[in-house]
Structure 1
Amino acid sequence: MIYLLIVNVSLIISFVLYKLIFRRLTFFQWNRIYLIGMSIFSLLAPVGIFIELPKTELISKHLVKIDLGTYVDIGIGSSIEQPLFFLDIIVKIYWIGVILACLFLMVRISYLFRVLRSSPDHLSFSFFNRIVIGRLTYNKENIAWHEQIHTEQGHSYDLLLIEILKIFNWFNPVVYFLQREIRFQHEYIVDEICSADKVAYAEMLVAHALRTDQLVFSQEFSNHSFLKLRIRMLFKDKSNPRQRLLYVTVLPMLLLITLSTLVFNTSRAKGMVLAVESGVKQVATFDHQTYPPKQTKRIHIQSNEQSDTMPFDQVEVKPVPERGMQSFMIWVGNNFQFPKQAVEHDVSGMIEVNFIIEIDGSLSHIKVKKDLGYGTKEATLKLMERAKRWKPALVGGKPVRVAYTLPIRLNLAK
């Protein structure tokens, strides 16, 4: 989710820069390189956030290996209806859109191949290394030259990249505008090469457009929707060569995004990313207010003084650390103080700590149910007492107390 967000924000910023600065320039090849380059950069730049960069320092400290989970009530003979979360709906809608986009692309490619096997009357286009010239088309040599330039410059590869980009970013309208602009630049590039006589070339475009149909996912010689812009660009005065320096303005943005990737490639930043995702996952759009009666086998702690504590599996909204469970895991791993005796004896195993999550999110009644000895119990209590407040559990929109069992797996073996 975070990856898609970063990719699409980068695409939007890149396209806005293109519309404001570069689109009016007649450096068509440079515009093509910018649009394709920024599309690829937008896809690759966020990847660095999720890749562990090699560390140059030698770390001699034993790191804790953590396996966090929850020991909750286990139903016997009946199931609990689970709440429907907002993120689950969004994810399902997203993948349905991806599947539909794939099917739509397959249909268009299938139609294109049918046209390739036929002999169209007036339709002329190129698709990768394949060139089709309509049987009844005039000026076949000029049109063939036009399409040959498309194939030599690999314009179909650009369109294929954008089609793939559209599949996974179908919800972003900027992607569709981006595809249209790339097709414009393709035609401007070829028109500039082929239009020795601009008036005659423009007349040929108009004449050909009056007898052709639009074909998607290919390079058509004359497209109705592009015709006016192409003719206007033919007669437009060329941009001053010095204006190429405007493309240098992209470098600070590239540098900023690259530096941001390096900054975010830290445990703390990754914890923030995971916290955002965990926070979104906790937004429930629908919860069942009642649960069927059932017998349960409980392994969390309850006592007379904790009679108002709800079972973990019967709350509508589960408790969660403020920045999400994954972020909490990172915090535990970074802050667990290993007792000297535990390190000397290479202690490994599971520690179980029980506590109550109060209605204000604070942790109380912290007890170590199972420890490994050698001071691990005291270290665990000291750690959990420093833990920040959680988001409390909710029932009927009101916070409730919940008992929680947290297993922490230590691995101090050398």
Structure 2
Amino acid sequence: MDSIIYILKAHLLFIILGSFFHFFLRKEKNFHFNRFYLLGAYFISIIAPFLEFNFFNTVIIIDTSIVENSINDSKIIQESVGNAGTSLNLYQILKYVYLTLCIGSVSIFIIRFIKSYSQFNLVIRNSKFDYRSKVYWVENDIPALTFITKTLLPLKLQNNQEKDIIIKHEESHRKGLHFIDIFCIELCSSILILNPLNRLIKRYVVENHEYIADHYASKATEKNNYVNLLIRETVNNNSFKLASFFAKPSILNRLDMLKNNNTSSNKTIVAALLFFITSFIFSCNFNQNEEIVLAKDINTATVEEAIQITDKIFNVVEKQAEPKNGIQEFYNQLSEEMEGLYPEEAIENKIEGVVYLQFIIEKDGSFSNIQAVKGIGYGCDELAIEVLKKQGKWNPGKQNGNIVRSRRVIPIRFQINS
């Protein structure tokens, strides 16, 4: 798939899924569903555009005699189409700029993680592990936090009557493996780095972690007590960048969610349906493709059936259509016009092979319905089609002495010179 097309499809799918969450789901208390929806929005936006399921597929049976002569002649152009320029065009520049941004984003995340991990290790060296509550008590004046699978609490909370509630909150982060979500969205968001909803959805992922932990911890006390505790602890909000901690800054949203009782199963069902339907649409190729099946022997019944199906377009004729100056001169002309036009993307990816072009020779010798029935991609199919469109008229085919429309398949070989 074309890189730019993939990027555009990935961004558009993410915008659709992210917008639906923003307008319909973010104030719902289906926290666990929301968690997997948000993660799924990242994953499916990256994966679905890669998948190209052909929705329409038509099989056409063609006698090998239609292409046998052309296959032999295709050698004529294989050496002359491989000399393309190496200059960068706008497409290449955009692709490299985007790739650089993605790599830069991943690099920044790795640096941030290493820095946070180093800070965490410095703090935990002087900590005391409590096997009963599975937390590390430290003398530093830091808020309660969970980094990866370890929870840190300041010693000043050790005699606090509400410490068990805070431990419950951090336990939810630890047992829920919320750090995996953060890792995944940081990496996935690097691919969607220019998406306008990227930062917003990342924030929603982190906020949803806090909603889950608040809901879990608030069961251990009165809701009003928990709200008051949350407000007090919010005053101290210094922490590691990649940690989940009790007094996360989204205090107003968390207080609203504690008071909110909105839980709509209908919205959950609609969201799930939208997620799967939209993902399916973006993973499908709705272009009508024709699959060519070569057969050595085609009986009369098959020919008659083909004639009916193709509206008097003959796949097999008594006298084949051919170029006016012969097939060799035809390929020489193709060779000259393709000189130096080898697609740069194909050169970069070292793409070689044969593109099979199917077209109809009309009664006046002109071409119609030109398409690549079997291609190699990376711009080679499009180049072959464009060059064929520029060729002159052929001598049309004949059947029973009458000029008829006929179908023809020709191979064009692409090979990069060493």
Tell whether the structures are fold-level matches, with TM greater than 0.5. Answer: yes
Whether 1:151 aligns to 2:174 is yes
Cα distance, 1:103 vs. partner?
1.2
Task: State whether residues 108 and 216 of structure 1, in contact with CA within 8 Å, keep that contact through their aligned partners in structure 2.
Answer: yes
Asked whether 1:106 is paired with 2:110, we answer: yes
Q: Does 1:164 align with 2:184?
A: no
Give the Cα separation in 2 of the matches to 1:222 and 1:358.
Answer: 62
* Matched-pair contact (CA < 8 Å) for 1:267–1:330: no
- Tell me the amino acid that sits aligned with residue 86 of structure 1: L
Aligned twin of 2:91: 87
Distance 1:146 1:363 in 2: 73
Aligned-partner SS, 1:329: strand
The partner residue of 1:202 within 212, 227, 246 is 227
What does 1:3-402 align with in structure 2 at a 5 Å threshold? Answer: 3-49=6-52, 71-72=79-80, 82-119=86-123, 120-137=140-157, 139-195=162-218, 196-224=221-249, 226-234=250-258, 236-239=259-262, 241=263, 243-257=264-278, 259-260=280-281, 263-264=284-285, 268=289, 329-332=355-358, 362-364=390-392, 383=408
Once residues 387 and 172 of structure 2 are traced to their aligned partners in structure 1, the CA distance between those partners, rounded to angstroms, is 70
Task: Note the residue ranges of structure 1 that are not aligned, 5 or more in a row.
Answer: 271-299, 303-308, 319-324, 337-355, 368-380, 388-404, 410-414
Asked which structure has the greater RCO (Cα within 8 Å, sep 6+), the reply is: 2
Name the amino acid aligned to 2:256.
Answer: R
Alignment partner of 1:268: what SS? strand
Cα deviation for residue 222 of structure 1 reads 0.9
Q: CA deviation at 1:7?
A: 2.3
User: Counterpart of 1:402?
Assistant: none
Q: CA deviation at 1:259?
A: 4.9
Q: Quote the Cα distance in structure 1 between the aligned partners of 2:413 and 2:31.
A: 60
User: Following TM superposition, by how much is the alpha carbon of 1:267 offset from its aligned partner in structure 2, in angstroms?
Assistant: 7.1
Alpha-carbon distance, 1:5 to partner: 2.5
Counterpart amino acid of 1:218? A
Deviation at 1:37, TM superposition (A): 2.9
CA 1:71–1:260: 2 relative to 1, 3 Å = same
- TM-superposed CA distance for 1:312, in Å, is 5.8
- Tell me the SS of whatever aligns to 1:123: coil
For residues 10 and 64 of structure 1, do their structure 2 counterparts lie closer, same or farther at Cα, with a shift above 3 Å needed? farther
Query: Is the 2:13–2:45 Cα contact (8 Å) retained in structure 1?
Result: yes
The alpha carbon displacement at 1:109 in A equals 0.7
Note the alpha carbon deviations across 1:131-190, whole angstroms, 9 max, x for none: 122344454433222111111122112112111111222121322211110111111111
For residue 128 of structure 1, what is the amino acid of its counterpart?
I
Distance 1:25 1:407, change over 3 A: closer
Residues paired across the two proteins, number: 304
Provide the rounded CA distance (Å) in 2 between the counterparts of 1:16 and 1:269.
37
Give percent identity, aligned residues only: 18
Q: TM-score, normalised by structure 1?
A: 0.60
Q: Using a 3 Å threshold, how does the CA distance of structure 1 residues 159 and 229 change in structure 2: closer, same or farther? A: same
Amino acid at match of 2:88: L
CA distance in 1, matches of 2:356, 2:60: 20
- TM-superposed CA distance for 1:72, in Å, is 3.9
Query: Any conservation in 2 of the 1:146–1:221 contact (CA below 8 Å)?
Result: yes
TM-score, structure 2 as length reference: 0.59
**1:7 touches 1:46 (CA, 8 Å); kept in 2?**
yes
For the residues of structure 2 that align with 1:162 and 1:41, how far apart are their CA atoms?
A: 12
Rate the CA distance shift 1:174–1:70 in 2: closer, same or farther, 3 A.
Answer: farther
Aligned residue identity for 1:4: I
Bigger strand fraction: 2
Q: RMSD in angstroms over aligned alpha carbons?
A: 4.6
Which amino acid is the alignment partner of residue 178 of structure 1? I
Deviations 1:81-118 (A, max 9, x none): 64431110111111111221121011111122122213
Structure-2 separation of matches of 1:206 and 1:110: 31
- Paired amino acid for 1:96: T
Q: Identify the range of structure 1 (357-366 vs 257-266) with the bigger mean alpha-carbon deviation.
A: 357-366
How far, CA to CA, are the matches of 1:258 and 1:218 in structure 2? Answer: 31
Q: For each residue in 1:42-100, what CA deviation from the matched residue of structure 2 results, as whole angstroms up to 9, or x when unmatched?
A: 33333331x789x9x9989769798897654899xxxx964431110111111111221
How many Å apart are 1:198 and its aligned residue? 2.9
Question: Deviations for 1:229-257, whole angstroms, at most 9, x for unmatched residues?
Answer: 212322x2311x5x211111134434533
Letter in 2 for 1:231: L
Distance 1:47 1:177 in 2: 25
